Structure 1
Amino acid sequence: MESGNRSSPQLRRAACNSNVERMKTTSPSVIVIGGGIGGLSAARALHDASFQVMVLESRDRLGGRVHTDYSFGFPVDLGASWLHGVCKDNPLAPLIGRLGLPLYRTSGDNSVLYDHDLESCALFDVDGKQVPQELVAKVGEAFESILEETDKVRQEFSEDMSIRRAFSIVFDRRPDLRLEGLAHKVLQWYLCRMEGWFSADADTISEELLPGGHGLMVRGYLPVVNTLAKGLDVRLGHRVTKIARRYNGVKVTVEDGTTFAADAAVIAVPLGVLKANIIKFEPKLPDWKEAAIADLGIGLENKIALHFDKVFWPNVEFLGVVAETTYGCSYFLNLHKATGHPVLVYMPAGQLAKDIEKMSDEAAANFAYLQLKNILPDASDPIHYLVSHWGTDVNSLGSYSYDEVGKSHDLYERLRIPVDNIFFAGEATSMEYPGSVHGAFATGQMAAEDCRMRVLERYGELDLFQPVMGEDGSVSVPLLISRM
C-alpha cells in the first residue's frame, strides 16, 4: 500500500454492502472466530490494546472445549479440567492466582502417569479384586524402563513410529521387560492412561511439560472464561461459514447469511472444525496451511460424570480397571477427593470413546456404571449423570490435537503462522504445549500481538497503542494448591 493512502479511512474497512454489519469505529477492528480459551485470550488482549473486537461463537455459550456444567448444583468440568504445569512459568498461572481459584494437585513432576501419581490410585481386575499396591508400583517402574527403551528405539529409526510398535520392538529385544498375567494387565492400563493423555490410540500416537505437576481446577474453568470475556462484544449462535480476505480487510459470513467486516480476523476454532471444512476460505488457504490442517491428529476423550447420594468408594484420587487390552481398561476420576462432592467421572479415550459416543446418554451412563459395578459390587445407583460428546459435537469434532505417526512436530507452528490478515490461535497452534488450556491461552496472546503489529504497521500507527502482552509488571499472586 502506498504511504499516501495510509490515512484514508475508506481503506480501513471492507467495501460497504447492505448486508454487511460494520464496526462503528475509527480504530482498527478485528473479528475473533471462536469463543474458546484461545479466541478469548486473543480478544481480551486486542480489546485491551484499544482495538474494536467482535467475537463470533457458534455455540450458545463461551468456553469451547472448556465447559463447566452446574446442573449437579456445583461445578463439573466436562471438558478441560486440569492446569498442566502448576508453576509461575505457566501463562495462565497469574490469572488463576489473581482470581484466587484453588488447585488440587494430582501429580508431581515425575509421574509416569502424566496426570496422577501412582500412590493416588486403586486398581482392580475385571472380577473386582484389587491389584496389590506393590504390583502397581512395580509395573510403574517397569513402564518407565520400557518408555526409556522406546526412546532409544525411536532414535535409531529414521522413520517415525507409533508408541505401540516401539513397545513391540523393545519386547523383542528385551524379553526380560515382558510382563505376564496381572502385571501385563496393569501395563495395559498404563498404556490406556497414555491414550487418555493424548486422546488417541497407542498405535497412532507419535510422542514438553511444564514443571510443577498437574492441578485440577476445583471450582472449574468457567471463572477464567468469564474473566477473559468481560466487556467484550460477543455474538453467540454465530456459526461462521465463510471468510473472505481482501487487501483492505476481511469479510466473515455466518450461517444465516449475515456478513461482518473488519481489518483482520483471528481464527480460533478447534482443529476438528478446520478439518471438516465447515469454514470456506476465499481465496483458499495456501497449500502448506491446508496440509498442516490435514496432517495434524485430532483425538478423543470424553467424560461421563456420575453423581451419587453418598460415597461408597475408596478415598483415592482415581479408580482403575485393568484388562488384557487397553480397550478393556477403565479410569474413574474421584472428584470427592478434590472437591468434596460425591462424583466419579468415567473417562474413555480413543476407540472406546468413539464407540461410546454412538450410544444414547442413558446407555453411556449405564455402561460407565457397569464398569464401576464390576469392581465395587455394592455401588449405589447414580442420582444424576452428565455425558460429553466432543467427537460428534459439530462445534468441536474432537477433543484435542496430537502428533500423528510420521508427521512433523512443526505442523503446530505451520498452523499458527498468519495468512495475510488472518491469524490463527488455539491449542493446535501451540508448538510447545499442544492439547492444553495454557497452550491455547498463549497462542491467543501471540495471535493478538501478531495481529496488532501487522494492522498498526499497515496504518503507520504503531506508536499510538500500548503492547498487548501485559508488560506492566503486574504483581504475581501465588497459586492456591492443596493435596488432601
Structure 2
Amino acid sequence: MDAKELFSTNLIDGTVTSHIKRQCNSPHTVIVIGAGISGIAAARSLHEASFKVIVLESRDRIGGRIYTDYSFGCPVDMGASWLHGVCNENPLAPLIRGLGLTLYHTGGDNSVIYDHDLESCMLFNIDGHQVPQHIMIEVGDTYKRILAEIVKVRNEHPDDMPILQAISIVLNKHPELRLQGLAHEVLQWYICRMEAWFASDADIIPLKTWDQEHVLTGGHGLMVKGYDPVVKALANDLDIRLNHRVTKISNGYNMVMVTVEDGRNFVADAVIVTVPIGILKANLIEFTPKLPDWKASAINDIGMGNENKIALRFDRVFWPNVEVLGIVAPTSYACGYFLNLHKATGHPILVYMAAGRFAYDLEKLSDESAANFVMQQLKKMFPDASKPVQYLVSRWGTDPNSLGCYACDLVGMPDDVYERLRAPLGNLFFGGEAVSMDDHQGYVHGAYSSGLMAAENCQRHLLQKQGHMENLPLVPSVRHEMFETTIPLQISRI
C-alpha cells in the first residue's frame, strides 16, 4: 500500500486528518507490536523521550515469553527464568538491583557444557540407581575432550554440519573416547543438557556457531521471585492494548497502518515489530508492500527452538537438597532432568525441562498425561514419591503467540542473517531476542537490549526527518528513579 492508499483509508483509532494535524503540532506516534520485554523496553524508552506510544499485544497479558505463574501460591517462571550473566555489564542489572530482586546462583560461565555446578547435580539411571559422582566427573572430562576435538573438525571441514555429525567423526577418529554402558548414558545426558541450552537437537545445532556465543561473565542467576516484577515495572503507565492480535502492517512513505484481528486500524509515524521469530516464520502478519527478499530470507534462515517446562508442586520434599536431578539413558532424547526450586526458593516444587523434538512430543499430550509421564520419570529415582498437589505445563511450540521459545542457529546459516533481520525497513523497525546484538539471541537481556536499540533507531529516524537530531540522546536509556541505584545484585547460594 502506498501513501495515497493510506490517506484514503478510514482509520478507527485516529483518522488520517487528525494524524496529519498531530504530525504538525504533537509528538510522533509509534506503535510497538508485542508486549514482551523487548517491546516494553522500546515503548518505555520512547515514552520517556516524549513520544506517543501504543503497544499492541495479542495475549491477554504482558510479558510474552516471560510468564510468571502464581497459581502455586508462589512465583514460578514457566518461560524465561534466569539472568544469564550476573554482572554489572548486563543491561538488566540496574533494573534488578533497583527492584531489590534476589538471584539464586546456579552455575559458572561454561554454559554449553552444563549451566549448573556439577557438585549440586545428582544423576540416576532408568533402573533408579544413582550414578557415582566420580563417573559423572570422568565422563565430564571426556565430554570436554570431545568438544575440543570437534573444534578441530570444524577447522578441517569448510562446510558446516550438525554437531552430532562432528561428534561421530571425532569418535571414529579417536575410539579411545568412545564410552560404554553407564558412562555412555551419562555422556548422552551431557548432550541432552547442551540441547536444552540451544532448545534444539544435536542433529540441528550447527558446528560452525555452537561455541561462538558471547556469554556475559558472572554465571547464571535464577530469578527467585520470577521475572514478573521486572516486566511490570517497565510497563508501568504505558498504553498497552491486550488482546490486539496484529494481522497486517501497511508501510507508507510517512506513516504506517497496523490492522488487528477484528479489523480495527491504528496509524503511526513508525512501527517497532517485536513479535517472536516463530510468528514471522509462519507469515502470520501480512506486510504491505511485501518484505524484500533479503529480509524474507533472513527470517527463513533462522531457526526457532522449543523448550517446555512441567512444574510440579508437592505437599512435602522427598528429594535430596541438590539443584538438578537427572535421568541418564542410551540416547539424549530419553534423558531428562528436574530443576529443584526448593533449594532456590524454599517451595516444594520440581520443574521438569524438555527441549527440541522431545519438547514438541510432550505438547502432543494432555496436561494430565504430561504430568503423569514426568511422575513416572521421578518415580524411577524415588519410588516412594508422593503425587503432586498441582502441576503446570507450558506449550511454547504450539502457542499461537510464539510458536517456539527462542531463536536458534541452523546448519549452513549465512553469516549476516541476524544483521539482515534487525535492519529497518523505512518506518519499520525490528526488536526481539532474535535480533539482539553481540550474539545474545535467546537471552532476556538480549531481548531487552534489542528493544532499546530499535527505539533509538526509530527515534533517530523520525527526528532526522524533521531535522531535530540535537534532541536525540546519545545512548538509549530507560530512566526511572527506582532503577538509579548502586546497590549490588543480591545473590544467594542456599
Q: Same fold (TM over 0.5)?
A: yes
Superposed, 1:120-199 pairs within 5 Å as 120-199=120-199
**Counterpart in 2 of 1:203?**
203
Q: 1:409 to 1:79 in 2, by over 3 A?
A: farther
Q: Structure 1 CA distance, aligned partners of 2:359 and 2:400?
A: 16
| Residue 393 (str. 1) matches residue 399 (str. 2) | yes
**Counterpart in 1 of 2:467?**
460
**Counterpart in 2 of 1:443?**
450
Q: Structure 1 CA distance, aligned partners of 2:342 and 2:72?
A: 13
The amino acid across from 1:285 in the alignment is L
**Counterpart in 1 of 2:487?**
477
**Counterpart in 2 of 1:108?**
108
Note if contact 2:189-2:329 (Cα within 8 Å) is conserved in structure 1: yes
Q: CA deviation at 1:375?
A: 1.2
**Counterpart in 1 of 2:335?**
329
Q: CA deviation at 1:177?
A: 1.0
| Residue 263 (str. 1) matches residue 277 (str. 2) | no
Q: CA deviation at 1:17?
A: 4.2
**Counterpart in 1 of 2:229?**
223
Q: What is the total number of aligned residue pairs between the two structures?
A: 473
**Counterpart in 1 of 2:11?**
19
**Counterpart in 2 of 1:236?**
242
Question: Structure 1 stretch 235-244 or stretch 463-472: which is displaced more?
Answer: 463-472
Q: TM-score, normalised by structure 1?
A: 0.95
Q: CA deviation at 1:465?
A: 5.0
Superposed, 1:2-13 pairs within 5 Å as none
The amino acid across from 1:377 in the alignment is P
| Residue 56 (str. 1) matches residue 56 (str. 2) | yes
Superposed, 1:29-40 pairs within 5 Å as 29-40=29-40
Superposed, 1:223-372 pairs within 5 Å as 223-372=229-378
The amino acid across from 1:479 in the alignment is L
RMSD: 1.7
Q: CA deviation at 1:18?
A: 3.5
Q: CA deviation at 1:466?
A: 4.2
SS state at 1:204 partner: coil
**Counterpart in 1 of 2:88?**
88
SS state at 1:20 partner: coil
Q: 1:465 to 1:154 in 2, by over 3 A?
A: closer
Q: CA deviation at 1:15?
A: 3.0
Q: TM-score, normalised by structure 2?
A: 0.93
Q: CA deviation at 1:468?
A: 5.8
Q: CA deviation at 1:132?
A: 0.3
Q: Structure 2 CA distance, aligned partners of 1:323 and 1:409?
A: 36
Superposed, 1:420-435 pairs within 5 Å as 420-431=426-437, 432-435=439-442
**Counterpart in 2 of 1:384?**
390
Note if contact 1:36-1:64 (Cα within 8 Å) is conserved in structure 2: yes
Q: CA deviation at 1:155?
A: 1.9
SS state at 2:347 partner: coil
Q: Structure 1 CA distance, aligned partners of 2:492 and 2:134?
A: 26
Q: CA deviation at 1:319?
A: 0.3
Note if contact 2:104-2:344 (Cα within 8 Å) is conserved in structure 1: yes
The sequence identity of aligned pairs, in percent, is 61
Q: Structure 2 CA distance, aligned partners of 1:464 and 1:16?
A: 33
Note if contact 2:33-2:274 (Cα within 8 Å) is conserved in structure 1: yes
The amino acid across from 2:12 in the alignment is V
SS state at 1:45 partner: helix
Q: CA deviation at 1:475?
A: 4.2
Extract unaligned runs of 5+ from structure 1. 1-10
Note if contact 2:114-2:190 (Cα within 8 Å) is conserved in structure 1: no
